[in-house]
Amino acid sequence: MYLHIGEDTLIKDKKIIGIFDMDTSTVNKATRDYLKKAETDKRVIYVNYDLPKCFVVTDDKVYVSPINTGTLNKRAKS
């Protein structure tokens, strides 16, 4: 199965490690450091440049998405 995370971006659901809310998870310094390192390693992919609401961590990349985590979780369960 694939999960649609916005625009034309689909991710295989078996590659997904986690879906994280941008507002609540970036409060933690460790998360900010992780995202900063992923950015410098060129592993971050912006689905589009609208206001980011979540990020999806896969085994090789981090996708920043404008879709709410609740919506993505519902899509993943169906």
Whether 11 shows a pLDDT value over 90: the answer reads yes
Helix (H) or strand (E) holding 74: helix 69-77
Give 40-76 pLDDT, tens digit per residue. 999 999 999 899 999 999 999 999 999 999 999 999 8
3-state SS record for the chain: CEEEEECCEEEEHHHEEEEEEHHHHCCCHHHHHHHHHHHHCCCEEECCCCCCCEEEEECCCEEEECCCHHHHHHHHHC
Q: Looking at residue 77, what is its pLDDT?
A: 87
Residue ranges making up the domain that contains 39:
2-77
pTM of the model: 0.93
Tell me what the mean pLDDT of segment 19-40 comes to.
95
